Homo-oligomer: A and B are copies of this chain.
Amino acid sequence: MKQRPTIKDVAQAAGVSLGTASRALNRAGRVSEEAIAAVTKAARRLGYEPDAVAQSMRTRSTGVIGLLVSDFANPLYARIITSVEASMQAAGYTLLIANTHNDRKREKSLIDTFRGRRVDGLILGPCEIESAEFLERVDADLPVVAMDRDFSAAGTGVHVDHYHGALQATRYLLNLGHTEIALMTPGSILRPGRDRIAGFEDAFRERGLTPNPKLIRAEKSAMDYAFSEALGLLSAPQAPTAFMCLGTRILSGVLQALKHSGRSIPEDASVVSIGDTDLSQLFTPAITSLTWDFEAVGTALAQLLLKRLDRDHKPEPERIVLTTQMVLRESCASARLSKAKVLDAGRQKQAQKTDQKG
């Protein structure tokens, strides 16, 4: 197995010194056109490919960005990550992706691993027991951009306004006459979960109501769990007439529970999906969704990090808050009219159009 050529080989082949070869290859400093030509030619002839590890050793910069998220296969994250990757690739960076599985220890160990690999920056998604202080400590060392996470005054990141989103979605269901609304979002300790619960509760409070605390459920994000939770709620005396469910897995469980208990949507129960996915778009009836722009989250994260990546630029903390949108479809109806015709037909017409863009 032949060794890969080094810059030394290139210099030798081009008949110049090592330093000149380096300058020629990087077009840095003073180099003659002849030298550039000779070196470039030699490099191409030998199939020279710079050793990024050795470059990093000197420059202290790897061109790698670490991204940590609970589960990158989660459709709610997958599209964001794709968008981050595209932006980063365009800027010449490579993405190192890992799953924390929402485990604080795992996150910490992965951050250390990434730090050891001398990544140039870090993008962190929500994780168990977050502390702004922790983030700040990491950031002192290494540019960090947080996504949907708490951060102190010094923190930089992107937030989706889950609070107002939940507020809006809950109002929508309250307007339809629902009061027994189940909120199924995992991670009440995570920033997005907490915000949703707050918005949900405030929507009730606005009208002098108090949400039934038993209807705020689903700590875990698993289909089986959501299925049995929903089934339990549906068999209770005050069964919910509406569900707000996060993502694909919980929505799946709830839809199955509804099907299993012989209830039809929207006649017997209204459903709002939090985070629009293939499932909510394609299900029959199509599921009304509270959603946000995944691609925009990704580009915002990338943009923020890129800005903090040049060492000299003072790292002023910066935040981007993205708003949510309701996509009205066919899964919600008035609570009063069981088995009756869908009331918000007018709105749904409008929703069809919005749908096209999603």
Contacts and interface: CB of A to CB of B under 8 A. Distances in A.
Interface of A: 1, 4, 49-54, 56-57, 62, 64, 71-73, 75, 78-79, 81-82, 85-86, 89, 94-99, 112-113, 115-118, 140-141, 248-249, 252, 255-256, 259, 277-279, 281-284
Contacts of A96: 64, 94-97
Q: How many copies does the complex hold?
A: 2
B73 A81 contact: yes
A53 B58 CA distance: 10
A73 B64 contact: no
A278 B226 CA distance: 14
Given A98-B85, A278-B279, A282-B283, A117 B1 contact: no
Contacts of A112: 49
A99 B82 contact: yes
Given A73-B79, A249-B278, 13 more contacts: A4-B141, A51-B116, A52-B116, A62-B117, A72-B72, A73-B78, A86-B99, A89-B98, A94-B98, A94-B113, A95-B97, A278-B279, A283-B284
Given A72-B78, A75-B75, A115 B49 contact: yes
B284 A259 contact: yes
Given A78-B72, A98-B89, A113-B94, A51 B118 contact: yes
7 contacts: A1-B140, A52-B116, A54-B57, A64-B117, A85-B97, A89-B98, A252-B281
A141 to B, nearest CB: 7
Contact of A283 (B89, B94, B95, B283): B283
Contacts of A95: 96-98
Contacts of A99: 82, 85-86
